[in-house]
Amino acid sequence: MTESQRGGRAGGGNFGRGRSGGGDRRSGGSYGSGGRGPRREDQPRGGPYGQPPRFEQRPRFEPRDSEDRASSMPPVPPGKTARQVALATLLAAAYSNDYVNEHLEAEILRGVLPPIERPLAMELAFGVVRRKNTLDALLAAAVTRPRENVEPALWMLLRLGAYQLALCDGVADYAAISETVELGRWLGRDDWTGFANGCLRAVARLLTEQSIDGPTPFALPLTGSRYSRLSQPIFANPIGSAEGGLSYISKAFSLPHWIVERWSERFDFDELCRLGFWFNAPLPLCLRVNRLRTDRDTLLAKFAEAGITARAGELPTSIRLETPTRIDQLPGFAEGEFVVQDESAQQAAELLAPQPGETVLDLCAAPGTKTTHLAELMRNEGRLIATDSSESRLKLVPQNAERLGLTIIETAVVTLEGTDIPAGPFDAILIDAPCSNTGVLGKRPDARWRIQPDDLEELSRIQLLLLLAAAGRLKPGGRIVYSTCSIEPDENGSVVEAACHFRPKLKIVEQHELTPGQTADGGFQCLLRAEGS
């Protein structure tokens, strides 16, 4: 396939409701309105007027697509190749309804996978989850029987083969087909091999070496804003109708239709395509330098000496790795000189700006990446309490702190809605709230399929309760940073607006809406200050 870049498209079809370029995305209306217009002042906000909403149950974010659940998963032997490990991981995740990353390392360790094949196993497992809609569209055009007549485990095998054929650079067609077909025998299902071979050969015939300038029913999005031309149309026509554009984005870029429809109210068609490319691209790994142990120039020099390709990031403490590398094998890891953290996430602690000697609370702290950043900014002086509702994940906080040489961090388990957080009072509080993850769908591929429209209301209730609980523990003149990795107004500006309504002394100082891909992950960060008594 050629490297030609997609040319610019004039206009945005019938997506005129959105604003181009992801401009001002401040939410309208009041908390809980979901952008559907302002709420009257005499209308209750989730509970009796003047009272915050009550949280009634823990949210569950599960895939609703029953076709993805391997209800009768075949026995899976330990994997010895990247493809075997990838398929075992995908089946285990579908069968257990867990996240893929929760099974990948276990499957790697269960088998005898050579270290050199680990990157391919990771790409295949995460890639199949990320591009599920795209792969299903390709298979629908190639498979000769209805999907409901194909066993779920066999369909997953076909997805794995289609991903290698269509979206995995450097894999020859013959290898993708033959090695994937052999996975049927590996599972003890010789009866699958003929069918799988025919289906994958049909997928291969859909693909061409030609490039195409922009979205059409023939255009398959790759990476780097490139499109490959298919031999026949398999997507909806994105030009001429809003619904055609929504369908194209959903299937070609593999995003849930409801998310695309929701985003089309704020973004035009070109911006939706840009977001689709960003969320499907391999993202450079970003590090945060531990300034208590070293500086960026010194660490970059160590990497260069070890043959690691890296460059300075956008922030003074950030480094971007240019090639996939095992983190624990990098120079300086054992010495606690860096931690993995995206640049957008690094900005949250910087916005709070905790000072040495202060008493600081990190709510929703596990696994402790932002906690350790706060401790570094405090120069390891003062008191820092890290809380989380997950006891198992909270145990990771002291582990990370020990490697980084940080000693001021205490931990405490709290309820999900923060009703029992430490009394304080605190000079500063960071709330990295549980959210939909819609700003980080690239690095968390499962998230796009697990979150559902009705979950947003449930999440926004939790977020508001956490923010209100934190505000009650703040010293006069103290400050809070409310942060999410979501780009949904319901979880961001609307939550902050509601908190300020219920706590009139809480005032917004500044807030930032982080657009995915400009230049890092998407999200939201708001600095609030409590006025003095």
Contact 292, 380 (CB under 8 A): yes
Q: Where in the chain is the domain with CATH 1.10.940.10?
A: 66-209
Encoded tokens for 67: 């076709």
Contact 337, 294 (CB under 8 A): yes
The partner residues of 246 in beta bridges, in order of sequence, read none
Stated pTM of the model: 0.85
Q: Which is the catalytic residue, given 273, 485, 500, 526?
A: 485
Q: Where in the chain is the domain with CATH 3.30.70.1170?
A: 283-340
Encoded tokens for 206: 């859909």
Q: Where in the chain is the domain with CATH 3.40.50.150?
A: 347-530
Is the domain spanning 347-530 CATH 3.40.50.150? The answer is yes
The contacts of residue 359 (CB under 8 Å, 6+ apart) are 382, 383, 385, 424, 425, 426, 427
Contact 455, 262 (CB under 8 A): no
Angle between helices 369-377 and 343-352 (to 10 degrees): 40
The contacts of residue 139 (CB under 8 Å, 6+ apart) are 147, 155, 158, 159, 162, 199, 203
Burial letters 344-374, b for 16+ CB under 10 A, else e: bbbbbbbbbebeeebbbbbbbbbbbbbbbbb
pLDDT at 170: 86
Does the annotation count 485 as an active-site position? Answer: yes
Q: Which CATH class is domain 66-209?
A: mainly alpha
Would you write out the chain's pLDDT as a tens digit for each of its 533 residues?
333 333 332 333 333 333 333 333 333 333 333 333 333 333 333 333 245 554 444 444 444 454 555 456 778 999 999 999 999 999 999 988 888 988 998 898 888 899 889 989 999 999 999 999 999 999 999 999 999 999 999 999 999 999 999 999 889 999 999 999 999 999 999 999 999 999 999 999 999 999 999 999 999 999 989 999 999 999 999 998 999 999 999 999 999 999 999 999 999 999 999 999 999 998 889 999 999 999 999 999 999 999 999 999 999 999 999 877 889 889 999 999 999 999 999 999 999 999 999 999 999 999 999 999 999 999 999 999 999 999 999 999 999 999 999 999 999 999 888 889 999 899 999 999 999 999 999 989 899 999 999 999 999 999 999 999 999 999 999 999 999 999 999 999 999 999 999 999 999 999 999 999 988 899 999 999 998 75
**CATH code at 283-340:** 3.30.70.1170
pLDDT at 508: 97
pLDDT at 71: 53
pLDDT at 418: 81
Closest listed residue to residue 268, CA positions, set 255, 252, 249, 253: 249
pLDDT at 370: 97
The residue type at 480: I
Number of residues assigned to the chain = 533
